Amino acid sequence: MAKAAQMHRHLMQKLEMIYPYLGWLTGSVGLLACVGGAVYLAMNNHEGVAGGLLGVPLLGVVGWFVQARLSLASVPVVSNSGQAQRGSAKRKR
């Protein structure tokens, strides 16, 4: 029973390491597919559809960058004096 639990824990740890990379890969492939489809549609006189096909994923990417930046700014940074500071405070070395 302990071996089975350990095997399960190791499997879960491997999956936790793989999932972010898998998400980045599939997101990148999806974005590139949308860009390629938009270029194809724009070349075949469907500019409106091409703009929609390109606009929605790009808004998602921009939103993801903004959200990542905002969540990074809200993480408290602990200095050597032991006091937590918010925002873009630099750590002392």
* Residue 84: per-residue pLDDT: 53
d(CA 50, CA 37): 7
* Residue 38 near residue 51, CB atoms below 8 Å: yes
Beta bridge partners of 77: 85
* Residue 75: per-residue pLDDT: 63
* Residue 10: per-residue pLDDT: 92
Question: What residues in the chain have per-residue pLDDT under 70?
Answer: 72-93
